[in-house]
Amino acid sequence: MFGRLVYESFRRQKRRKLLAGVAITLGVGVATAMIAVATDIGDKISRELRTYGANLIVTPQEDTLDVQIGGVDFKPPSDGAYLNEADLPKIKGMFWRNNIVGFAPMLPVSVSANDANAKDLTLLGTYFSKRLQFGKEYFTTGVRVTHPWWKVQGAWPDDNSSDVLLGESLAAKLGRKAGDEITIAGQAHRVAGILSTGGAEDNQIVAPLALAQQILGKPGAVRRLYVSALTKPEDALARRNPKSMNPEMFDRWYCSPYVASIAYQLQEAIPHSHAEQIRQIAQNEGTVLSRIKGLMLLVTLAALFASALAVSAAMATAIFERRTEVGLMKALGAGNISVAALFFAEALLLALIGGVLGFAGGALLARQIGRSIFDSQITIEPVLFPVILAIAVIVTFAGSAMAIRRAVKFDPVYALRGEA
């Protein structure tokens, strides 16, 4: 009899049940999409934010008091210690090696060119797109990975050539364009392209690292290293001093992709080095990630709240229309628990149907968001399905509770007479 009552309720109130089901489906669908994206969004957003540039800088341990203003190194390049270029591939041997998007060494050298306006210039040696090897693994890295906003009119130099780039301001000052030649330290070099960065490099010569080392007379020397790494936002553990942690806490910190823990591992990989975050970039990334996830949480809560309100309105109307039925049930001896159980059973069935349909629709929406925004696939974890069903049940019960409470309190005498 109980099952028949539930069935008749759906058969005779198709429109009311359909409206409630649609509300549940839409709310749960949005929640599914937002939760799926939020749980799979960290690396994708972090990769998008890597277009901001490197978020870590590595310098010689003995040279941590380097003076830089506006990206310009005011300490004479011949002073201080250097990193060893041969140690750089060891980065691919650290624990979070797969989170290292790329790295670019820098070596500034003071030079002069064969021009009256170019007596005191800075030649910046770096990797453009250098192919390196660590063990059996080959990988490519350089400023084209770590500094994606650098734009070149012409062509990028080959890392094994002696071609150079001229910053656009310097090129205009010297009257040079791509394809011309410029004499640096008594040797002619072809200008492969004109570089635009919006920074100090616009007034510099940018060349392969080997050329800068040759001019400086220090093979294998690297002044500083910019590293672009995928990290997670800082939390309380990330801000702890690793020296104050117990072994268990240190292992958890070490095995988390915090910018501080990756910097720690860079120091382990590169001997006699000091690594630190470029604080403005790292903190901004964490802020952006937190705000995007917070926005998704707000959208999810708003969708579920709207769904609960819609279910509440639909259920209240449906129960009011069935007040005579409730009165008859009570007159025949049904208790409050039996009446409430009937309506909660209907709500549970609606929740399960809406939850399944909402999960399917939300999964499609999440995949569409992944393709259109991140140009990649959003992974839907199987464990999300029971979570979504639970959310659908909670939302439906929350929306139905007030209406069911009113139904339980119906006086059978007034209800049978059709009075509220």
pLDDT value of residue 154: 92
* 187 lies in the same domain as 223: yes
Give the three-state DSSP class for 335.
coil
* 236 lies in the same domain as 299: no
* 41 lies in the same domain as 117: no
Q: How far apart are CA 105 and CA 125, in angstroms?
A: 8
pTM for the structure as a whole? 0.63
* 87 lies in the same domain as 178: yes
pLDDT value of residue 77: 45
Q: How far apart are CA 208 and CA 125, in angstroms?
A: 5
* 239 lies in the same domain as 321: no
Q: How far apart are CA 358 and CA 390, in angstroms?
A: 12
CA distances from 132 to 85, 145, 345 (A): 11, 14, 64
* Domain boundary, last residue among 254, 277, 300: 277
Give the three-state DSSP class for 41.
coil
* 214 lies in the same domain as 261: yes
At a CB cut-off of 8 Å and minimum separation 6, what does 271 contact?
Answer: 84, 87
Other C-beta atoms lying within 10 Å of the C-beta of residue 154: 16
- Domain residue limits at 301: 2-46+287-417
Q: How many domains does the chain have?
A: 2
Q: How far apart are CA 420 and CA 415, in angstroms?
A: 6
* Domain boundary, last residue among 277, 297, 330: 277
* 245 lies in the same domain as 313: no
pLDDT value of residue 139: 93
The continuous run of DSSP H or E covering 400 comes out as helix 384-408
Going residue by residue through the chain (420 aa), what tens digit of pLDDT does each one get? 556 655 556 666 667 778 888 888 999 999 998 888 877 766 566 656 555 668 899 999 876 654 555 555 545 444 568 999 999 999 999 998 988 989 999 999 998 877 656 678 899 999 999 999 998 899 999 999 888 889 999 999 999 999 999 999 999 988 889 989 988 888 899 999 999 998 889 999 999 999 999 999 999 999 999 999 888 777 788 878 888 889 999 999 999 888 889 999 999 999 999 998 886 555 555 666 677 778 888 888 998 998 888 888 887 777 766 666 666 666 656 666 776 677 778 888 888 999 999 999 998 988 888 887 766 677 788 888 999 999 999 988 888 887 777 766 655 555 545 555
Q: How far apart are CA 276 and CA 58, in angstroms?
A: 7
* 127 lies in the same domain as 233: yes
- Domain assignment of residue 282, yes or no: no
* 363 lies in the same domain as 400: yes
Contact in structure between 159 and 209 (CB atoms under 8 Å): yes
- Domain assignment of residue 64, yes or no: yes
- Domain assignment of residue 84, yes or no: yes
Q: Which residues of 169-187 are buried (b: 16+ CB within 10 A; e: fewer)?
A: bbbeebebebeeebebeee
* 193 lies in the same domain as 218: yes
* 93 lies in the same domain as 15: no
Alpha-carbon radius of gyration of the chain:
33
pLDDT value of residue 318: 72
* 325 lies in the same domain as 250: no
Token pair, residue 186, equals: 């008594």
Question: What does the CA dihedral 301, 303, 308, 309 come to, rounded to 10 degrees?
Answer: 110
* Domain boundary, last residue among 244, 277, 310: 277
pLDDT value of residue 76: 47
